[in-house]
Amino acid sequence: AQSVTQLGSHVSVSEGALVLLRCNYSSSVPPYLFWYVQYPNQGLQLLLKYTSAATLVKGINGFEAEFKKSETSFHLTKPSAHMSDAAEYFCAVSDQRSHSGGGADGLTFGKGTHLIIQP
């Protein structure tokens, strides 16, 4: 079974500071990894995804994430936080086995990290 752990249910950074949101995954087969963002009272929007091409993935709004197989991590970063980045961030995992009929389809999500931006 696959799983995702997001360290820190709440992360607070100052405007202009580095944003680092941590995600570790567990999967017995090569994973596909996603970061989604949820603004208040809205649905989820894809920030970026790793699909086994480049290990450094660039997404929207200046975010990027690096896949590190040795650390089973896919941490999300942004060099300079903006007030508009305040939101809930979810890391999610999918793998090829789940889409070959061997188990539940869909994504397995972490519990989320609430990003707070201090002025």
Partner 1 sequence: NAGVTQTPKFRVLKTGQSMTLLCAQDMNHEYMYWYRQDPGMGLRLIHYSVGEGTTAKGEVPDGYNVSRLKKQNFLLGLESAAPSQTSVYFCASSYGTSGGQETQYFGPGTRLLVL
User: Among 18, 20, 46, 60, which residue sits at the site for partner 1 (rule: CB under 8 A)?
Assistant: 46
Q: Which two tokens stand for residue 61?
A: 């709004």
User: Among 49, 59, 62, 77, which residue sits at the site for partner 1 (rule: CB under 8 A)?
Assistant: 49
Contact, 15 vs 81, CB < 8 A? yes
User: Among 23, 63, 78, 98, which residue sits at the site for partner 1 (rule: CB under 8 A)?
Assistant: 98
User: Among 51, 55, 61, 118, which residue sits at the site for partner 1 (rule: CB under 8 A)?
Assistant: 51
Nearest to 117 by CA among 5, 47, 46, 21: 21
Contact, 66 vs 56, CB < 8 A? yes
- Which stretch in 17-25, 30-38, 54-62, 73-81 sits in contact with partner 1 by CB under 8 A? 30-38
Alpha helices in 40-81 (DSSP H): none
- Give least dist CB 46 to partner 1, A: 5
Contact, 54 vs 107, CB < 8 A? no
- Which stretch in 14-22, 40-48, 65-73, 74-82 sits in contact with partner 1 by CB under 8 A? 40-48
The Cα 1–Cα 51 span in angstroms is 19
Considering beta carbons, is residue 16 or 106 the nearer one to partner 1? 106
